Homo-oligomer: A and B are copies of this chain.
């Protein structure tokens, strides 16, 4: 009798109300009925991303939103900084390469956060830098970069700050306008509690001006000028993923009903409990500056980490993520994003305790759960 629990950093669990909203019979998108849904969804998106900038919703994964940012900003003579402390930071570099955006990669050891001071120095030294591509939550390492600090630095220059918030939006504090973030790129299958398939992007006036000045823009499907013009009319340039938009509206409604600050606080508490639980089991946390949406932990030496994660997922039905690239088998990642509550943390730690004990690791059964419970009881 199999029962599945999804504690992976995307896709994450989708609430029943969202699933049911998407299960209604499909209707045509060029109708006032759909436009009303889209209008509401776009307004909610702006509120949840804490921005008055227009937000466009696209049928794409989060990477599509990232590509939109790069493709529309890459222009001869412009340079970029890509902040690369993991697989997704490196994706910014790969996208810049693909679109001929000359860039300097600021490489950060996996598990460490980007030092905003270095970004400040680079910007001061090179006046041709037009964009800084950053990652809020580096999903591959569980690091939460300091976007507020980066915003303070970048906003003083002519460069725009572009943030991959794919695995943080709707979970970690992200005050787009207050923090001077010019472009936010989001995917649907993480904190926003949807299946994969939607990308979102918000664009500040400063970024829009830069996009409009781009020479020879290599963008059609991801044309941000077109996307922004459509968004301003509560419309989309191409066929929207109707059911997913309906689901997004429902999911955003749930976030707003919970309250955005309460939602951030919940993720803070959940991730704090996960960290406490892992440390109580004698495990070492991996991220220097831990995200509230995904927690990475070093696995004990000598343990076959990939096998542990595979058994938990395939035999036990409790899905965590393993490490990626060089971290494969060495770390494990536990998501607390979106539709996640205290009891997911409890059962996840319980599953991990049993799996570690079975693998012959000397841990105290129940100690991780106890530590998490103590965090929850303190609130």
What residues make up the interface of A, taking CB atoms closer than 8 Å to B?
Answer: 1-3, 5, 15, 23, 254, 258, 263, 266, 316-318, 339-344, 346-347, 350-351, 353-354, 357-358, 364-367, 369-371, 373-374, 376-377
Q: With A350-B373, A354-B376, A366-B370 as known contacts, state yes or no: A343 contacts B5, CB within 8 Å.
A: yes
* B373/A263 in contact, CB under 8 A: no
The list of the 3 closest CB pairs from A to B, nearest first, reads A366-B370, A346-B350, A366-B366
9 contacts between A and B (CB under 8 A): A1-B258, A3-B339, A316-B343, A318-B343, A344-B347, A347-B347, A365-B369, A366-B367, A366-B369
**Complex Cα–Cα for A347 and B373 (A):** 11
Which of chain B's residues have a CB closer than 8 A to the CB of A369?
346, 350, 365-366, 369-370
For chain A, what secondary structure do more than half of its interface residues adopt (helix, strand, loop), or is it mixed?
helix
> Once the chains are docked, how many angstroms separate the CA of A248 from the CA of B365?
38
- Report Cα–Cα, A374/B341, bound state, in Å: 25
B343 and A3 form a contact (CB under 8 A): yes
The answer, among B1, B317, B364, for a CB contact under 8 Å with A266, is B1
Q: Which B residues are in CB contact (< 8 Å) with A374?
A: 365
Contact B341 A354, beta carbon cutoff 8 Å: no
Bound state CA distance, A316 and B340, in angstroms? 13
- A92–B309 CA distance with the chains assembled, in angstroms: 51
In the complex, chain B residues whose CB is within 8 Å of the CB of A373? 350, 353-354, 357, 365-366
Name the B residues within 8 Å of A350 (CB-CB): 343, 346-347, 350, 369, 373
Closest to A17 in B: B2
* A23 to B24 CA separation, bound complex (whole angstroms): 11
CB distance from A1 to the nearest CB of B (A): 5
Q: For residue A365, which residues in chain B have a CB less than 8 angstroms away from its CB?
A: 369-370, 373-374, 377
| A258 CB contacts on chain B under 8 angstroms | 1
Residues of the B chain whose Cβ atoms lie less than 8 Å from the Cβ of A358 = 377
For residue A171, give the distance in angstroms from its CB to the closest CB of chain B: 11
A343, B339: Cβ atoms closer than 8 Å: no
**Are the CB atoms of A341 and B266 closer together than 8 Å?**
no
A359 to chain B, nearest CB (A): 11
Residues B366 and A1 in contact, CB atoms below 8 Å apart: no
With A365-B373, A373-B354 already in contact, the answer to whether A1 and B341 are too (CB < 8 A) is: yes
- Assess whether A341 is in contact with B366, with CB atoms less than 8 Å apart: no
How far apart are A41's CB and chain B's nearest CB, in angstroms?
19
Closest residue of B by beta carbon distance from A354: B373
